[in-house]
Amino acid sequence: RMPDSVPTADRWQRASAAFSLSFLSLVFSITAFSSSYWCEGTRKVAKPFCTGQSKGDHCIRFNSPDANNSNAVQYIWETGDDKFVDRKFHAGIWYSCEEIVNEEGEKCRSFISLTPSADRGVLWLSIVAELLYIILLLTGAILMSVEMCYYGTVIDGLKINAFSAVVTVLAGLLGMVAHMMYTTVFQMTVNLGPEDWRPHTWDYGWSYCLAWASFACCMAAAVTTINKYTKTILEFKHKRKTLGRNLKIKYKFPDH
Which of 225, 170, 221, 222 minimizes the C-alpha distance to 20?
221
Which of 172, 175, 166 minimizes the C-alpha distance to 127?
175
| Residues of the chain above pLDDT 90, percent | 36
**83-87: Cβ within 8 A, 24+ apart:** 83/46, 83/47, 84/44, 84/45, 84/46, 84/47, 85/44, 85/45, 85/46, 85/47, 85/57, 85/58, 86/42, 86/43, 86/44, 86/200, 87/42, 87/43, 87/44, 87/45
pTM of the model: 0.75
Residue 19 backbone dihedrals phi, psi, to 5 degrees? -65, -40
Domains (range + CATH), the chain: 9-35+116-240 (1.20.140)
**Helix or strand (DSSP H, E) at 87:** strand 84-91
* pLDDT tens digits along 85-131: 778 889 999 999 988 766 677 888 899 999 998 989 999 999 999 99
Average confidence (pLDDT) over 144-155: 73
Helices 154-192 and 8-34 pack at an angle, to 10 degrees, of: 20
Average confidence (pLDDT) over 2-16: 60
* pLDDT tens digits along 170-229: 999 999 999 999 999 999 998 888 888 888 888 999 999 999 999 999 999 999 888 877
* pLDDT tens digits along 150-161: 656 667 777 888
Say yes or no to pLDDT of 241 above 60. yes
